Amino acid sequence: MAEVYGNASSIHYYGQAAKRHLEGARRSIAARLQCDPREIVFTSGGTEADNLAIFGTARRFAAGSHVITSCVEHPAVLNACAQLEREGYVVTRVPVDGSGLVDPADIRRALRPDTVLITFMHANNETGVVQPIGEIAAIAKEARVVFHSDGVQTAGRLALHLNDGGPDLFAISGHKFGAPKGVGALYVRKGVSLQAQLYGGHHERDRRAGTENVPGAAARGMAAATSSDWASVAPLRDKLERAILDRIRAATVNGGGAERLPNTTNIRFDGIEGEAMVIALDLRGYAVSSGSACSSGAVEPSHVLLAMGLSPAAARSSVRFSLGPSNTAEEVDGLIDAVTSAVTHLRRISPEVLHG
């Protein structure tokens, strides 16, 4: 920010220095995603990337056109689809099973002659459940429909090869694996057209107007080049789950039977309010969540867990734990003790104390 302060669109020395950093970051991200650097569009984050993909595709077609999505998407996708409905588009929301997985056959059945977009997340932000986007991509390709996937939870955490039969559009956010908040990107497969949603200069190959955030992009590129091995986190997550299920009665892993991200687990503690668990663990030095951070303050139960068939009470009794490569086995042991202590205390004082 202090040394490379030029505008990357300027032709003078300082501008070209900024341009070199910007394009270096683009190459780094493309290498991580296994795609062409020219297919990377920088955005302000995952939400803007999702919005650019959804509106940029759907608005190329007349109102009344059809979009397919799921019931468990992030609000960045759900609310964008709701806006399309207000504009006259038709949206089909495909259900998920008890593990949180969509059945690709349901997507095939939902297709219509006027379907213009399929949008499904790669992995869920609350449960970590990974969707079969390879199968979905094949269905979309066969139907000649654009396929967008919200990959905010998976970029940097799972191996990705976007040019190997994956989605046409793929949204990512830097802060999920080490870059600052407020910088993201959208992968746009070569040949896929988007209607710009911001109007201004010819930045990002006319796909996203506005002076690029060079420091943010450079940090994003560095994070892509140096991101840790997230696969090594899975044993810690499994250790956490096994210990909690062994020590605490009436505890269940939501989506535990499906393929999941290596770092995320969502556990239900019957008879306890999730918000009470969040507070109890915070007082013990552990930051967990009872839902999506983007829905903080919401009193409604998780739409993801409800879609998986949980009752409102069960959904409110669920807590999400997210680990990272920097966590240790000793820290997980401490978390297990803290969870056990918190559950024991809360069930003792809860009006819904479990019996038997």
Q: Domains of the chain (ranges plus CATH)?
A: 13-226 (3.40.640.10), 230-349 (3.90.1150.10)
Q: CA–CA separation, 342 vs 283, rounded Å?
A: 10
pLDDT in the model for residue 296: 54
pLDDT in the model for residue 295: 54
Q: CA–CA separation, 35 vs 26, rounded Å?
A: 10
pTM above 0.85, yes or no: yes
Active site residue 294: yes
Which residues lie below 8 Å from residue 108, measured CB to CB, with a gap of 6+? 139
Question: 73-88, pLDDT tens digit by residue?
Answer: 999 999 999 999 999 9
* Higher pLDDT pick, 176 / 86: 86
Question: 4-39, pLDDT tens digit by residue?
Answer: 889 999 999 999 999 999 999 999 999 999 999 999
Q: CA–CA separation, 270 vs 252, rounded Å?
A: 8
For tokens 């201004």, name the residue.
200
Model confidence at 356, pLDDT cuts 50, 70, 90, reads very low
Q: Among 18-22, 114-118, 347-351, which is the least confidently predicted range?
A: 347-351
Using DSSP, state whether 199 is helix, strand or coil: coil
Average pLDDT over residues 34-45: 96
Q: CA–CA separation, 314 vs 2, rounded Å?
A: 51
pLDDT at 355 over 50: no
Q: CA–CA separation, 280 vs 276, rounded Å?
A: 6
pLDDT in the model for residue 144: 98
pLDDT at 52 over 80: yes
Q: CA–CA separation, 174 vs 78, rounded Å?
A: 21
pLDDT in the model for residue 293: 60
Exposure of 66 by Cβ count < 10 A (0-12 exposed, 13-18 middle, 19+ buried)?
buried
Beta strands in the chain (DSSP E): 40-43, 66-70, 90-94, 115-119, 146-150, 169-173, 184-188, 251-253, 264-269, 318-322
pLDDT at 284 over 70: yes
Using DSSP, state whether 75 is helix, strand or coil: helix
Q: CA–CA separation, 220 vs 213, rounded Å?
A: 10
Q: CA–CA separation, 66 vs 115, rounded Å?
A: 4
pLDDT at 228 over 80: no
- Considering only CA atoms, which of 310, 315, 332 is closest in space to residue 263? 332
- Considering only CA atoms, which of 346, 344, 329, 342 is closest in space to residue 285? 342
- Considering only CA atoms, which of 256, 286, 282 is closest in space to residue 268? 256
